[in-house]
Amino acid sequence: MQHLDLQVIRRALQWSTAGQRIWLCTVLATYGSAPRAPGSLLAVNTEGQWIGSLSGGCVEEDFLERVAEGAFTEAISVVRYGEGDDSRSRVTLPCGGVLDVLVEKLEADCDVQAHLRELESALLGQRRLIREIDLANGARSLFTDREQGARIEREIDRVRVRIGAAQRLLLAGYSSVAQACAEFAVGLGFEVILCDPRDEVLDGVVLENVEIRRQLPSVFIADGGCHSDTAVVALTHDPRIDDLAMMEAVRTDAFYIGVMGSMQTSQKRFERLRRIGGLDEAQLARIHAPIGLNLGSKTPAEIALAVLADILRIRSGISRDRL
């Protein structure tokens, strides 16, 4: 399924190149119960066409009415939905939540279109960007993003938004733990890909909303299957799959690389990866082994929970000593 943010930016670019003004909306923050996470996008054109989502529908309806009435004439504004006396918001969210929305009015000009094309390339996984918006005048800047962290960083006078491809979980090989990881990750909004060449292992396996590729994960990785928003996890205990996947994964920009096994098993694997794979200490240091947070996990579901929790920790830029 195509990344919703990518759909929004592509449609906004189409509208802009056709000469239409657009309003690009970004969820800045949520308080209490809210259906969409910070960073979620919605775009609207002058004809009232829209794509994306800010909430379950009530905010979108109010916003479209406001645009039709001629509101949001300024280049930049922040609207709070759910509470307060903001005259631009007539909505009380039924879930009791509150969300702040950044609204940018973008004219149909070359600068806007060049900016949207840069965002499109980032959402395709070509690189990760930080989009900085000046809250006083709407000026926009783009910077290369070299770290993990919160998707939205807000200061008094500016907002920074991380832009990248859909978070991808690449499962190197099938196992009961991989099954649980896939199910958790789909629920968390990851694009999930499972690679395993073993027909006898995949026989009868059903995973909804998961792309299953019957090939060695190392081959998929070497062919460009990883970008900087990819987490690679190997959970089979089969070194023919796990080790080869690690050898290729450390040569990519994947933000998380992990392999299952006890401390003793992990030490032996690192020895093999040094001796046979030729990996150096910097490459080995990228591999989380044993994988996941130490939650005392025993069952496949518990191990999967520990793995996904660690991936989310890294993605959010949180060190272990802050847990």
Average pLDDT of the segment spanning 102-110 = 95
Strands (E), 173-225: 191-195, 210-213
DSSP 181: H
Distances (CA, A) of 175 to 187, 233, 288: 19, 12, 18
- pLDDT(130) > 50: yes
pLDDT value for 1: 41
Distance CA 229, CA 251 (A): 14
The answer to whether the peptide bond before residue 239 is cis (omega within 30 degrees of 0) is no
**Token reading at 194:** 């499972």
Burial class (CB in 10 A: 0-12, 13-18, 19+), 88: middle
Q: Which own/partner contact pairs does 106-114 have at CB distance under 8 Å and 24+ positions apart?
A: 106/12, 106/16, 106/21, 106/22, 106/23, 106/24, 107/21, 108/15, 108/16, 108/17, 108/18, 108/19, 108/20, 108/21, 108/22, 112/16, 113/13, 113/16, 113/17
**pLDDT per position as a tens digit, 252-276:** 999 999 999 999 999 999 999 999 9
CB hemisphere CA count around 204 (13 angstroms): 4
**pLDDT per position as a tens digit, 198-251:** 999 999 998 999 999 999 999 999 999 999 899 999 999 898 899 999 999 999
- pLDDT(183) > 60: yes
Round the CA-based radius of gyration of the chain to a whole number and report it: 22
Distance CA 323, CA 319 (A): 7
Q: What contacts 230, CB < 8 A, 6 or more positions away?
A: 168, 169, 170, 252, 253, 254, 255, 256
- pLDDT(92) > 60: no
Collapsed DSSP state (helix, strand, coil) of residue 103:
strand
Lowest mean pLDDT of 80-84, 98-102, 135-139, 238-242, name the range.
80-84
CATH class assigned to 168-322: alpha beta
Residue whose C-alpha is closest to residue 53's, from 23, 94, 85, 8: 8
Give the whole-number percent of the chain exceeding pLDDT 70: 93
Average pLDDT of the segment spanning 293-303 = 94
- pLDDT(8) > 90: yes
**pLDDT per position as a tens digit, 17-62:** 999 999 999 999 887 655 677 888 999 999 999 999 887 667 788 8
Residue whose C-alpha is closest to residue 172's, from 246, 223, 227, 228: 246
**Token reading at 143:** 């910077």
pLDDT value for 71: 86
Average pLDDT of the segment spanning 158-185 = 94
**Angle, CA of 185, 186 and 190, to the nearest 5°:** 70
Residue range(s) occupied by CATH 3.40.50.720 in the chain: 168-322
Average model confidence (pLDDT) across the chain:
90
- pLDDT(87) > 70: no
Distance CA 116, CA 106 (A): 10
pLDDT value for 98: 78
- pLDDT(313) > 70: yes
pLDDT value for 321: 81
pTM of the complete model: 0.77
- pLDDT(85) > 60: no
Place of tokens 């939650």: 295
pLDDT value for 84: 57
Average pLDDT of the segment spanning 177-186 = 95
